[in-house]
Copies of this chain bind each other. A is one copy, B any other.
Amino acid sequence: MSKFLLDKYKDLVPYTPGEQPKDQQYIKLNTNESPFSPCEAVMKAIENEVPTLKLYSDPECKKLRCKLAEIYNVNENEIMIGSGSDELLNYVIMAFAKELVFPDITYGFYKVFADVNKVPYTTIPLEEDFTIDVAKYVAPGKMIVIANPNAPTGIALSLEKVEQIIKNNPTSIVMIDEAYVDFGGESAVPLVKKYSNLVVTQTFSKSRFMAGARLGFVIANEELIKDLNTLRYSISPYNVNSMTLAAGIATLENEDYTKSKCLEIIKNREYLSKSLKNIGFDVIPSSTNFIFAKTDKIEGEKLYLTLKEKGILVRHFKSERIKDYVRITIGLKENMDALVKAIKEII
C-alpha cells in the first residue's frame, strides 16, 4: 500500500472473483457462466458497431432501455443500464445505504460494497436449511439486500415472501439481486410499480451468455433511477460501450434462444443433481445455473483441489457454515458427465 492511499481504505479487502487460471484448459464450472455462446444475431449486431466505435456510446442507453421496458413491462425511465450488475449494486448502495442488512451466506461482494462505501453492515443467519426467514428482515432505515435466488446456495424465495420483506420495510430500500432468476426463480420486477422502496438488479452474465460483454440493469421506480443516474453521470456517464449495448438488444430480440438454453441448463441441473445424489451427495434444491452440494466422503476443499488437478474447476468457500460444500456451475451434459466421472474416481 502506498503512503498516499486515504486512511479510510487502508483495511479494505477487495472481493476475490472466481479464479480464471490460464495455465491450462479447464472444464470451467466455477463462475456460473453460461456454457452457450450468444446467438448469431449478436455477432452481426456487434459487427455493425465497429465502424462507429470512433463515436461515444449513447450515455442514455436509450434503445436497450426501450427494449428491456417492452420485455419487462415497465417504463424505460424505470431502468438504468450498467457495465455488469456489480457496478450497479455498488451505485445502489452508494446512493441509498446508511447501513446494510443481508444474509450471512450470500454473494460475498455485498460486504465489500459496504466496506468500500464506509457503510456498516449486519448479517442475518440463514436458517439451518439455508432458507430465509422473512420475519427476521425488519430493518427500519437500513438497506436490505437479498440475492434471489440466493448464491451460493441456489435457493429461491417465493415472490410472496419477497413482497413481505418489501412491505415490512417501507422506510428502507430493499434490493433484490436477481442474477440467477431466469433459471427458475420469480422476479420481483412486477412489484416495482407498487413499491417505491424496491430495487431489482439483473445481469446478462448468466442466462444471456454475455459475462464477457459486461451488461446489467436496475429496475426501480423513476425517482430512484434518477438518483442513480445522478451518481452515474458524476463518475462514468458512458459506462457501457456500444458493442455491448448492441449485443444486448440483439439478445433480447432473440428471447426464444435464451429461453431454450435456460431450459437446457435446468435439464442438465436436474440430471447432475440426480447423478450426485446417486453417489451419496447432499444436493440443495437449486433454482439457479449452479448447484451446491456436499458429501461426507470428502471435504469440500479437498474435492475442489482434487477436481482442479483433474482439469475441472468448481468453487469452494472457506466460511464455516458452508466449508463442506462445493458450488458447481451447470454446463453442457458432457461437462456434467465428465464431472461425475471425475468425482467417482476421487471418492
Interface residues of A (CB under 8 A from B): 1-2, 4-6, 9, 12, 14-17, 20, 22, 28, 31, 33-38, 42-43, 46-47, 49-59, 62, 83-84, 86-87, 90, 95-98, 112-113, 115-116, 173, 196-197, 205, 209-214, 221, 223-224, 226-227, 229-244, 247
Pairwise interchain contact B46-A50, C-beta atoms closer than 8 A = yes
Pairwise interchain contact A227-B46, C-beta atoms closer than 8 A = no
Pairwise interchain contact B1-A210, C-beta atoms closer than 8 A = no
Known: A2-B227, A116-B231, A231-B116. A86 touches B236 (CB 8 A): yes
Which single member of B5, B22, B83, B113 contacts A83 (CB below 8 Å)?
Answer: B83
Pairwise interchain contact B242-A243, C-beta atoms closer than 8 A = no
Pairwise interchain contact A241-B241, C-beta atoms closer than 8 A = yes
Which single member of B12, B53, B197 contacts A38 (CB below 8 Å)?
Answer: B53
Pairwise interchain contact A50-B37, C-beta atoms closer than 8 A = yes
Give 4 closest A-B pairs by Cβ, nearest first.
Answer: A14-B233, A2-B223, A212-B242, A116-B234
In angstroms, Cα B87 to Cα A98, docked, is: 24
In angstroms, Cα B43 to Cα A232, docked, is: 29
What is the minimal beta-carbon distance from A283 to any residue of chain B, in angstroms? Answer: 24
Chain B residues whose C-beta falls within 8 Å of the C-beta of A230 in the assembled complex = 1, 5, 9, 12, 14
Which single member of B56, B205, B223, B224 contacts A20 (CB below 8 Å)?
Answer: B56
Chain B residues whose C-beta falls within 8 Å of the C-beta of A241 in the assembled complex = 83, 212-214, 241, 243-244
Besides A35-B54, A54-B209, A55-B212, 4 other A-B contacts (C-beta < 8 A): A14-B233, A15-B237, A43-B50, A49-B212
A sample of 29 inter-chain contacts (CB < 8 A) reads: A1-B223, A1-B226, A6-B97, A12-B234, A14-B232, A14-B237, A15-B237, A17-B56, A31-B55, A33-B54, A35-B54, A37-B54, A38-B53, A42-B53, A54-B212, A57-B214, A83-B239, A84-B238, A87-B235, A90-B235, A90-B236, A112-B234, A116-B235, A212-B243, A213-B241, A214-B238, A214-B240, A241-B243, A243-B243
What is the minimal beta-carbon distance from A201 to any residue of chain B, in angstroms? Answer: 13
Pairwise interchain contact A227-B95, C-beta atoms closer than 8 A = no
Chain B residues whose C-beta falls within 8 Å of the C-beta of A235 in the assembled complex = 86-87, 90, 113, 116
In angstroms, Cα B7 to Cα A96, docked, is: 9
Known: A56-B33, A213-B242. A4 touches B234 (CB 8 A): no
Which single member of B20, B37, B56, B84 contacts A53 (CB below 8 Å)?
Answer: B37
Chain B residues whose C-beta falls within 8 Å of the C-beta of A243 in the assembled complex = 46, 212-213, 241, 243-244
In angstroms, Cα B35 to Cα A51, docked, is: 11
Name, among A50, A59, A90, A213, the residue most crowded by chain B CB atoms within 10 Å (CB to CB): A50
Pairwise interchain contact B87-A205, C-beta atoms closer than 8 A = no
Chain B residues whose C-beta falls within 8 Å of the C-beta of A116 in the assembled complex = 231, 234-235
Chain B residue with the shortest CB-CB distance to A243: B243
Chain B residue with the shortest CB-CB distance to A42: B50
Pairwise interchain contact A4-B173, C-beta atoms closer than 8 A = yes
Chain B residue with the shortest CB-CB distance to A43: B50
What is the minimal beta-carbon distance from A142 to any residue of chain B, in angstroms? Answer: 12
Which single member of B37, B58, B214 contacts A51 (CB below 8 Å)?
Answer: B37
In angstroms, Cα B49 to Cα A306, docked, is: 31
